[in-house]
Amino acid sequence: MNTYRITCRETAYFVKEVKANSEDEANEKLHANVNGFEDVEEWVEEWEIADTEEKESHVKHWVDLPPRTNTRQKS
């Protein structure tokens, strides 16, 4: 059985509560620090598969690669 890595993309919506003197000030505060305000509601409207690829059983790491510089020729 093979293993696949599937990348998905979703459209998420969320509602924040911001205390401010005007709508413009509230938008500015939220834009400056969106994670600093409490989520009142959150939902995902739609999602889709963006990419699918088979996971390789062996991923090459830097130790598997031949050296590129500072190598000596064998005499």
Residues 5-23: tens digit of each pLDDT: 999 999 999 999 999 999 9
Write down the pTM of the prediction. Answer: 0.56
pLDDT, mean of residues 21-38: 97
- Statement: residue 72 has pLDDT above 80: no
Element (H, E) at 56: none
> Is the model's pLDDT at 49 over the cut of 90?
yes
Alpha-carbon distance values, 41 to 19, 22, 44 (Å): 17, 22, 11
12-16, 51-55, 63-67: which is most confident: 12-16
Residue 23 CA to chain centroid, in angstroms? 30
Which of 14, 12, 30 is CA-nearest to residue 22? Answer: 30
